[in-house]
Amino acid sequence: MTTTMRAQAPVQLDLFGAVVSAERQRVVDALTCLRDAIPEALQIVVELRCWRPGDSRKPRAGGAWAYCISHAGLGFEAAAEWWAGARECGETWGWSRTPANLMPWEELAGLIGDDPRRAEIAGWVDTLPSIRWRQLQRPHELWPDPGGWHTSYFCRDHVDEHWTARRRAWQLVLDLLTDAITREAS
């Protein structure tokens, strides 16, 4: 397994000092991956760091994205590039390869750290019992393609005593990330 992430290309400024679209696209892609592919997005938004004791760069995939959550930051790459694109270039590809792009935690904190919705989400998380992994996971109906899940998953979500607050917290996470994406894309 590859244990290092590719270094980011330096930011290229145009004559007027604006960042060229490749750097903006990298930021938008990281935020989109976080919003659309990562079941632990709520915990990432609250913590703005890797909460796991060990530093794993093991890749995972969801929807259109490959990603990993490491102590260095959020690794991400479009799944098509991570899988087929790298293979076509003769690079290590798929499960043997850490996603190529990295958003350091400090950069993510600069993008969403001051959003007041984070405080509300973190406040809710603090009210949960100590074994709370299920409540922190993305509700099945809030995935980009909820029609792919069996109805039993929705039922299990809805009967949980924390359902209403969990749904609200997750909607805040998705709104926060969508707003950040919109800001960065414009």
Residue 149 lies in a domain: yes
Residue 52 lies in a domain: yes
Residue 94 lies in a domain: yes
Residue 171 lies in a domain: yes
Whole-prediction pTM value? 0.84
Domain of 149, in residue numbers: 21-185
Residue 89 lies in a domain: yes
Could you report the per-residue pLDDT of 31-52, keeping only the tens digit for each? Answer: 999 999 999 999 999 999 998 8
Residue 4 lies in a domain: no
Residue 66 buriedness (CB in 10 A; 0-12 / 13-18 / 19+): buried
Residue 9 or 142, more confident: 142
Could you report the per-residue pLDDT of 74-127, keeping only the tens digit for each? Answer: 999 999 888 887 778 887 777 888 899 999 999 999 999 999 999 999 999 999
Residue 2 lies in a domain: no
Structurally, the chain folds into a number of domains equal to 1
Residue 116 lies in a domain: yes
Let me know: does 141 contact 154? Beta carbons within 8 Å. yes
